[in-house]
Amino acid sequence: MGGNSGVKSSQQNGRTSLKIQPSRLVGNLRLPPSKSHAMRWLTLASMDTSPTKIMMWEIGEDVQAMIDCLIKLGSEWNGEELTGCSKVSSGGKLDCKNSGTALRFLIAQSATSESIITLDGDASLRARSSLQLVESLGVSANKTPDEQEYPITISGPFTKDLVEIDISKTSQFHSALMLMAPRTNGFVIQTKGEGVSRKHSELTWRLCKITGAKTPGMPWKVDCPDVVIPPDASMAAFARLAKLEVVNQPKQSESIGHSLERSELRDSNDLITPMAAWLAMGNGGVISGAKHAAYKESNRITKTAELLAQFGLKSEITEDGLSITGRQTPTRPEGLVKTFDDHRIQMTAILLASICGGEIEGPELHKVAWPSFLDQLVKCGLRLE
């Protein structure tokens, strides 16, 4: 399992930061387990009353948040095996921390319960609305006294026969509906809008079928096999940006559409920030089909452009992505590099700073998905002040 990073941070103006010197990176990286696979397998295993072994060589904060919430809902976890429960028990308050995936999946699971369950997360997560999912489920949801969406209190049980869901901004709502079906009497899922991150929805249904599902929305007795979570293919983008080799290259069938050779990101918007950086230093290009990247931890289109600008790299925001001039060289930012509470922006900032130096905001952000990221880079030659 993953450990804590040994990297030291400093304080500036009350903020925690990471100071990086220009470095020569040589070696290889071991990609973290796929969050997408882990979240779905954990959700499915939480509905299987027999133990399911879920093997991950390290566990990021998002996945750990999911595990902690499932335990509150009645599952048991011994560090490697999850034993689920037939019904969602009272979970009280669930802290999803930074994980939008955990939040959406758990909203749907909570909706199947007769208990009152409250869900919340950190400031970054609170900026991501889930009201469309809640409203589509037809369950009662109480906002805070000041009319903020979070913490949100769900009061089920879900009883609808048909659920219509918009899939044009995120695939997580669609996946959440498919994953809640075993705890319902069955319902029809009707999608609308042009789908994004379609490979994630396809992954959800493929894993559901492995556990016994026949028709989306119809209940089944979940029977989970033991699984080894594959490497996160989207993280290979950071290895490419760092010009480092990957020792555990994922199989093509496990990549969920994360092709590093295509700049049309309708199905892989997580690549936008590192891809923009390597295009700026390479031949340039246009990133398109990434409009839904605006609904991640940060607006990844505008914030990626801001990150590049902090390193003196020029880009232009388009309707659905970025246009980037090539053959640029990053320059050391004069002040603290803002990372907007977004781990993929922070990780890209660290790699840009490895070229020219810089002080990076939020040295712990990478732990959301890749706990050993900094430690591995240090072993490859990353120099810290």
Given a cut of 70, whether residue 197 has pLDDT beyond it is yes
Query: How many folded domains does the chain comprise?
Result: 2
Reading the block at residue 30, the tokens are 């071991």
How far is the C-alpha of 50 from the C-alpha of 275, rounded, in Å? 42
Whether 20 maps to a domain, the answer reads yes
DSSP string for 33-69: BPHHHHHHHHHHHTT-SS-EEEE-SS--HHHHHHHHH
Residue 4 has pLDDT above 60, yes or no: no
- How, if at all, do strands 116-120 and 93-95 pair? parallel
Distance CA 369, CA 35 (A): 7
Question: What domain range includes position 192?
Answer: 35-228
158 inside domain: yes
Nearest-angstrom CA–CA distance, 121 and 300: 19
CATH number for the domain harbouring residue 184: 3.65.10.10
Q: Is residue 239 part of a domain?
A: yes
Judged against a pLDDT cut of 80, whether residue 291 lies above it is answered with no
Regarding whether 208 and 244 lie in a shared domain, the answer is no
Average of per-residue pLDDT across 62-78: 97
Residue 299 and residue 190 in one domain: no
Q: What is the mean pLDDT of the chain?
A: 90
Q: Are residues 277 and 304 in the same domain?
A: yes
184 and 248 fall within a common domain: no
pLDDT tier for residue 6 given thresholds of 50, 70 and 90: very low
Torsion of CA 369, 373, 374, 376, to 10 degrees: 160
* pLDDT, greater one: 286 or 269: 286
- Does residue 274 share a domain with residue 213? no
Averaged pLDDT for residues 103-125: 94
**H or E stretch including 123?**
helix 123-126
State how far the Cα of 383 lies from the Cα of 385, in Å rounded to an integer. 7
**Residue 305, domain member (yes or no):** yes
Between strands 152-155 and 140-142, the pairing is antiparallel
Is residue 58 domain-shared with residue 202, that is, in the same domain?
yes
What local confidence, expressed as pLDDT, does residue 142 receive?
81
pLDDT of residue 16: 82
